[in-house]
Structure 1
Amino acid sequence: MGAPFVLDHVFVFARPGGPEATALAALELTDGGGKTHLGQGTANRCFFFQNAFLELIWVHDEQEARSAAIATTGLWERSQYRQTGACPFGICLRAAGPENSAPPFETWGYRPPYVPTGSEIPVAVAASFAEPLLFLQRPRTSEGPAAAPARESENHANGIRAIRKMHITLTDGATLTPAVREVERLGIVTFTQGPEPLMELVFDEATQGRTADLRPDLPLLLRW
């Protein structure tokens, strides 16, 4: 039996406007477009793969991002990670089987203005903003699922198809809570600690032997 939850997408905080998307496009990755998260104060650009997607996210409205309804997620602190020491990453999981599968970790209900009334996003209870924001794809509603990306946005000129491995470096001293350890146990990500945050994504078993290090602009390392 496979894992009850699999990777849906990951995010990493970028600079306002997401200029780092240009560097990803230069690697022959297809830009899948973006949107503004109503009332959350953030916007994004997304790069879709066959099994998951990579989201560049940034704060475009500080007042919204720091409002009472949003502040518990630490999105503002995460966007300012170089100054605050917060973790700039997020990991979203989706159920691999029936959508009523019990969450793999303790959660609280996040209700940003952009989700339908009566709906919520299950977010892991965290010890601090020094660990990634862990959350689950929100349950389907009677309004239907979110629009799927166009199939052509999953086609990349560099031949990349799917995210196969993910490794995250958390800053020294970050607490590894039960939720973080459970995501690691599921085989979705491995964690270590180091002087600065870094997300490493491995595509297709890295058969091409190529590497792209986007630091210092983005704490992201790609291998394919």
Structure 2
Amino acid sequence: MKIDHIFMGSESPDEHVKILVDFGLTEGEPNSHPQQGTAVRRFFFENSYFEFLYISNLNDIKSPTTRPAQYYERITANDNQTSPFGICFRPGGNSLDFSNYKSWSYRPKFLPHPFKMDIYGHKLSDPILCYMGFVSDESFKKRITQHHQIGFKDITLLRILSPYAGLDSKLKKDLNKSGLIKFKHDETHTLEFTFDDAKQNKIHDFRPQLPIIFKW
């Protein structure tokens, strides 16, 4: 598996995008999810991308099809009990096989049959972990990578900081061991991105405005 993209639920996407643009990132093309009730503002890198996920239609996001995916809860989270984050994987890279872990199939109406997303777990305290077997390296490369003023190219490490960072499932243990994601205990839910192996030994903490840390 490889990390395809990372998302954060947001009730203030304009404000959050501005914070990252002012820092030196270039916003990419936005996207919407018809009949799922969500849309995204995105930042593309050479090997992955990050997006702010927000509500575009309240009825759709609360529909019987979408509600089990818990997007509404992630976006509206205002306490420390719910992680606002999600990590979606695609095939390739290391030998981890999502089919080895218990998951359920989410079939949003905007995906053509027979495409589906395999979602692991139901705990709101953990980020959504999702596998998209229909995304290939070739299709990913067709996306436009943005040139960022700050100079970032690749996301080389993603660390999940959380009060619930314990390795309490086989998938979390295997992800942590593989280096795809690292879990670390912290008082609040935070995403820590390392870009380009942190060769410049720099760090920027966006908290409390945004639960994100950049290292590069």
TM-score normalised by the shorter chain: which range applies? 0.7 to 0.9
- Cα displacement (A) at 1:145: 4.5
Partner Cα separation in structure 1 for residue 101 and residue 14 of structure 2: 31
Q: Tell me whether 1:180 sits opposite 2:172 in the alignment.
A: yes
Amino acid at match of 1:170: S
1:168 is displaced (CA, Å) by 0.8
CA contact under 8 A between 2:98 and 2:131: conserved in structure 1? no
SS class of match (2:74): helix
What residue ranges of structure 2 are gaps of 5+ in the alignment? none
Q: Distance in 1 between matches of 2:18 and 2:135?
A: 33
CA deviation string 1:84-103 (max 9, x = no partner): 72111111111116xxx663
Instruction: Answer whether contact 1:172 1:195 (CA < 8 A) is retained.
Output: no
Report the counterpart of residue 134 of structure 1 in structure 2. 129
Partner of 1:43: 39
Partner residue of 1:79? 75
Per the alignment, residue 150 of structure 1 pairs with 144
8 Å Cα contact 2:2/2:90 also seen in 1: yes
Give the match's secondary structure for 1:64.
Answer: helix
Tell me which residue corresponds to 1:25.
Answer: 21
SS in 1 for 2:19: helix
CA distance in 2, matches of 1:137, 1:200: 23
Amino acid at match of 1:116: P
- AA aligned to 1:201 is F
Q: Secondary structure at the match of 1:56?
A: strand
The alignment status of 1:163 with 2:155, answered yes or no, reads yes
Alignment of 1:62-101 (within 5 A): 62-83=58-79, 85-96=81-92
Instruction: Please tell me whether the aligned partners of residues 37 and 55 of structure 2 are also in contact (alpha carbons under 8 angstroms).
Output: yes
Unaligned runs of 5+ in 1: none
| Structure 1 partner of 2:106 | 110
CA deviations on 1:29-70 (whole Å, 9 max, x unpaired) are 111121111111111111111111111111222222121111
Q: CA RMSD in A?
A: 2.5
Aligned residues: 213
Q: Tell me the TM-score normalized by structure 1.
A: 0.84
Deviations 1:187-210 (A, max 9, x none): 111112332101100101222233
* One-letter identity of the residue aligned with 2:45: F
Q: What SS class does the counterpart of residue 99 from structure 2 fall into?
A: coil
TM-score, normalised by the number of residues in structure 2: 0.87
The alpha carbon displacement at 1:173 in A equals 8.0
User: Quick one: which of 186, 190, 210 aligns to 1:218?
Assistant: 210
For residues 24 and 199 of structure 2, the distance between their equivalents in structure 1, rounded to whole angstroms, comes to: 16
Query: Runs of 4 or more off by more than 4 Å in structure 1?
Result: 144-147, 172-175
Given the superposition, is the C-alpha separation of residues 35 and 107 from structure 1 closer, same or farther in structure 2, using an over 3 Å criterion?
same
Q: What per-residue deviation string (whole Å, max 9, x for no partner) do you get for residues 155-183 of structure 1? A: 21211111111111123487732222222
What secondary structure is seen at the aligned counterpart in 1 of 2:143? coil
Cα distance per residue 1:86-136 (max 9 Å; x no partner): 111111111116xxx663522211011110022211111x14111111111
Decide whether the 8 Å contact of 1:32 with 1:149 is kept in 2.
Answer: no
Q: Which residue of 1 aligns with 2:6?
A: 10
Any idea what SS the aligned residue of 1:78 has? helix
Q: Distance in 1 between matches of 2:54 and 2:21?
A: 18
